[in-house]
Amino acid sequence: MADPLVAVADATADAAHSPEDSPTAPPPPATPGKPGTLWAISDIHLSFKANRGEFEKLLPRPNDGLILCGDIGESAEHLHEAFKKATACFRQVFWAPGNHELYTLPTQKEHGARGEKKYEECVEIARQYGVLTPEDDYVLWEGEGGPCLVAPIFTLYDYSFRPAHVKLQDAVDWAREENIEATDEHLLHPDPYSSRVEWCEALLARTEHRLAAAVAANPGVKTILVGHWPLREDLVKLMLVPRFCIWCGTKKTEDWHNKYNAKVVVSGHLHVRRTDWRDDTRFEEVSLGYPRQWQECKDRGMDVNDLLREILPGPVKPPPEERGITKWRRYG
């Protein structure tokens, strides 16, 4: 299954980002004494002109924070554009990478960074704007619904979201039987690791170490786990392309919401906005997606501000008998 984004992204990926566009304005001033709200959105895919125009409609929320949960775009230009706008509107911005940020596009084949180096380039851009990444210390969000420790994480996937009868070495061929193949197989390189599975294993070990240390250092404080890929296989429901599931996470994070004291787990990747509860943890999928996937909202007079998802304080916890029911969300 070809990804329609890639051709568009490839045409613009090498566009230069001029020094004049670097951040110069400070974040908007906060109102003293007013508790902030923590919002999230992912998969804004700035390769699409419609999505770029939409993201520019973000309104200032100087007391609030914003989580950008991966798939901003494929180029440095996309990251600069998103971080510049987000930090101009929000007091604090968090980012976790998606697969698209990690792509090395065909136009960059000879000179572009690959794998871990590409990720490091993204982190460096984020730091130019004061955006917090999985490489930074987790910070305590003390706004409304807090205090909570906000933890951006980078986990990748290991093809384990597959039926028991499908062997790891057969997983991609199993997806191809239904004409499904992620663009990652061609553009997301694992360098210096031998495979994406090996890179995923290294990321999981490092992330678990950091999360365990953070929870131990903050006894009783809930966390907000912020990553692009879903942490649980049972939250991956892709009706039109079910075998795409193998590129959607790893079974090794199944219990992280309990293990690391999560109040909320925030993810994207699926382009299907939904809210779920597992145990006492709320799971939020917060994708914007491709233009056709939010066109209905636009037709109803909504814009990107209506598509931000409130993470904290968030909705009221439903009664126990309703927590197993997925709430499908058309907007925020």
Locate 27 and state its tokens. Answer: 């974040």
- pLDDT at 15 exceeding the cut of 60: no
pLDDT score at 26:
61
Does residue 2 have a pLDDT over 80?
Answer: no
CATH number at residue 9: 3.60.21.10
**CA-closest candidate to residue 135, choices 116, 120, 145:** 120
- Is the pLDDT at 159 greater than 50, yes or no? yes
Q: What is the pLDDT of residues 90-109, one digit of tens each?
A: 999 999 999 999 999 998 88
111 falls in which pLDDT band (50, 70, 90)?
confident
Mean pLDDT of 116-125: 98
Q: What are phi and psi of 234, to 5 degrees?
A: -70, -5
- Residue 125 has a pLDDT of 98
Per-residue model confidence (pLDDT) at position 110: 79
Q: Of the ranges 1-15, 82-96, 189-203, 275-289, which one carries the lowest mean pLDDT score?
A: 1-15
Mean pLDDT of 53-66: 97
The confidence band for 34, taking pLDDT boundaries of 50, 70 and 90, is: low
In order, the DSSP letters of 25-91 are: SPPPPPPTTPPP-EEEEB---TTSHHHHHHHTTPPPEEEEEEEE-S-S-SSHHHHHHHHHHHHHHEE
Please confirm whether the linkage preceding 23 is cis (ω < 30° from 0). no
Q: Give me the domain span that covers residue 316.
A: 5-328
pLDDT level of residue 143 (50, 70, 90 thresholds): confident
pLDDT digits 0-9 by tens, 207-249: 999 999 999 999 999 999 999 999 999 999 999 999 999 999 9
Q: Give the pLDDT of residue 108.
A: 87
Inter-CA distances, 57 with 41, 141, 171, 224, 308, Å: 14, 25, 41, 26, 12
Does residue 7 surpass a pLDDT of 70? no
First-residue to last-residue Cα distance in the chain: 29
What's the Cα-to-Cα distance from 123 to each of 132, 136, 285, rounded to whole Å? 9, 9, 23
| Interval 141-155 mean pLDDT | 95
pLDDT number for residue 119? 98
Whether 28 shows a pLDDT value over 80: the answer reads no
Q: Kindly report the average pLDDT of the chain as a whole number.
A: 92
Instruction: Give the pLDDT band of residue 270 (cuts 50, 70, 90).
Output: very high
Mean pLDDT, range 17-22, rounded to an integer: 42
Strands 139-141 and 148-152 come out as: antiparallel
Note the pLDDT of residue 13: 37
Res. 19: pLDDT tops 80: no
pLDDT of amino acid 332 = 85
Supply the pTM of this predicted model.
0.91
What is the predicted pLDDT for the residue at 109?
81
Task: Name the domain count of the chain.
Answer: 1
